[in-house]
Chains A and B, each alone.
Chain A
Amino acid sequence: AQSVTQPDIHITVSEGASLELRCNYSYGATPYLFWYVQSPGQGLQLLLKYFSGDTLVQGIKGFEAEFKRSQSSFNLRKPSVHWSDAAEYFCAVGARGTSYGKLTFGQGTILTVHP
Chain B
Amino acid sequence: GAGVSQSPSNKVTEKGKDVELRCDPISGHTALYWYRQSLGQGLEFLIYFQGNSAPDKSGLPSDRFSAERTGGSVSTLTIQRTQQEDSAVYLCASSLGWTSGRDTQYFGPGTRLTVL
CA distance A43 to B50 in the complex (A): 22
Enumerate chain A residues within 8 angstroms of B31, measured Cβ to Cβ.
101
Q: Which of A90, A102, A105 has the most CB of B within 10 A?
A: A102
The smallest C-beta distance from A33 to any residue of chain B, in angstroms, reads 11
Chain A 81-110: CB-based contact to B (< 8 A → 1; otherwise 0): 000000000101010000011111111100
Is there an interface contact between A51 and B48, defined as CB atoms closer than 8 Å? no
User: Is B14 positioned at the interface, with any CB of A under 8 Å from its CB?
Assistant: no
Is there an interface contact between B42 and A103, defined as CB atoms closer than 8 Å? no
Picked from A32, A94, A101, A104, the residue with its CB within 8 Å of the CB of B50 is: A101
The smallest C-beta distance from A26 to any residue of chain B, in angstroms, reads 16
User: Is B25 positioned at the interface, with any CB of A under 8 Å from its CB?
Assistant: no
Interface residues on B, range: 20 to 34
Q: List 25 A-B contacts (CB under 8 A).
A: A32-B102, A36-B107, A41-B109, A42-B109, A43-B4, A43-B91, A44-B91, A44-B93, A46-B104, A46-B106, A49-B102, A49-B104, A100-B103, A101-B50, A101-B56, A101-B103, A102-B48, A102-B56, A102-B58, A102-B59, A103-B33, A103-B105, A105-B42, A106-B42, A107-B42
Supply 15 further A-B pairs (C-beta < 8 A) apart from A45-B107, A102-B58. A32-B102, A43-B91, A43-B110, A46-B106, A51-B102, A94-B103, A100-B98, A100-B103, A101-B31, A101-B48, A101-B98, A101-B103, A103-B105, A105-B42, A105-B43
